[in-house]
Amino acid sequence: MSEPAPASAYQRYQPWRRWVEWGSWITLIGLGAIAETLVVGMEMRRAGLPHHPMEPAVWEVSSHLVVLALVPAIAAWTRAFPLHLDTLARTLPAWLLGSVLYSLLHVLGMVGLREAVYALAGADYDFGPWGRQLLYEYLKDGRTFLQFALIIEGYRFILRRLQGEARLLDAPDDAPPEAPVERPERFLVRKLGREFLVAANDIESLQASANYVNLRVRGREYPLRSTLAAVEQRLDPARFLRVHRSYMVNLDHVASIEPLDTGDARIHLRDGSTLPCSRRYRAALRERTE
């Protein structure tokens, strides 16, 4: 068994990743709630508007709590419609629709929270004319959605640079148009401004992830912008096998297969990692490994 590669900065970051991500969002949105509460309170006092001292806090905390709860939804939406120059015409309308849905959820959520708090205090909350208020809130929410979406995309860009991105090598320039595309023997990986080649035979497994396919090589993963079905057509079927809707495996790296009571199976690779094998593909896997 070969020695595992030393952990990269990206791999060392993984145990802390969720803590850093959620900690950053909670800090960012929490500071925003505090700042907005102070600003709204000062503006109402300056204008001489009657209000309970706790009302600005109720308004802003309810709004920012819903914003925090919607961060995973923004992340999921941008994952489904990632920002790329070649798909910009399709991405921008999708982001516009996402901003509208985000605003509606934000308004409904914060109004519901405010009405609940006011009811507990024995008072009524008046949101105002819904048509005008929805437009007013969307002008703010649309900007917030765009800012958060760009932050998430920028963060993913940095992670991909740390992790490294892969792509299929292009066909030779002198190849005739009708020539079939050959199966690549190597993939080009770009990491932190450097490029190197990865042999296709060194790929241990592949996993579909939104608009990317993660190539696992020596314990490290490199995202390839493609679909698993498209990559499957380019790999050697004598060596690579589809074992799940979202996974393929290099048969040379399979150590053992563990049957499960559900009819599925668990694949153990030589490096100690595991992959799922659904019952749909289990028979083909058993035939190829016997």
| pLDDT(290) > 80 | no
Q: What is the pLDDT of residues 50-64, one digit of tens each?
A: 888 899 999 999 999
Across 18-36, average pLDDT: 95
Q: What is the pLDDT of residues 77-107, one digit of tens each?
A: 998 888 776 667 778 899 999 999 999 999 9
How many CB atoms within 10 Å of residue 33?
19
Report the run of H or E that residue 117 belongs to, with start and end. helix 88-120
Which regions of 169-253 does DSSP assign to beta strands (E)?
Answer: 186-191, 194-199, 203-209, 212-217, 220-225, 240-244, 247-250
Angle at the Cα of 203 from the Cα atoms of 201 and 207, rounded to 5 degrees = 145
**Which fold is adopted by the domain 166-170+183-289?**
OB fold (Dihydrolipoamide Acetyltransferase, E2P) (2.40.50)
**What is the pLDDT, as a whole number, of residue 187?**
78
Q: Residue 187: what are its φ and ψ, rounded to 5°?
A: -115, 145
| pLDDT(261) > 60 | yes
Bridge pairing between strands 220-225 and 194-199: unpaired
**What is the pLDDT, as a whole number, of residue 182?**
55
| pLDDT(183) > 70 | no
| pLDDT(185) > 50 | yes
How far is C-alpha 110 from the chain's CA centre?
25
Which regions of the chain does DSSP assign to beta strands (E)?
Answer: 165-168, 186-191, 194-199, 203-209, 212-217, 220-225, 240-244, 247-250, 254-259, 265-269, 274-277
**What is the pLDDT, as a whole number, of residue 86?**
60
**Positions of CATH 2.40.50.1020 in the chain:** 166-170+183-289
Q: Taking the CA atoms of the chain, what radius of gyration do you get in angstroms?
A: 25
Structure tokens that stand for 79 in this block: 């994952």
pLDDT band at 230 (very low <50, low <70, confident <90, very high): confident
The residues near 263 (Cβ < 8 Å, ≥ 6 apart) are 279, 282
Structure tokens that stand for 9 in this block: 């900065």
**What is the pLDDT, as a whole number, of residue 3?**
53
Instruction: Say how far apart CA 289 and CA 284 lie, in whole Å.
Output: 9
Q: What is the pLDDT of residues 151-171, one digit of tens each?
A: 998 998 888 878 777 766 544
**What is the pLDDT, as a whole number, of residue 90?**
77
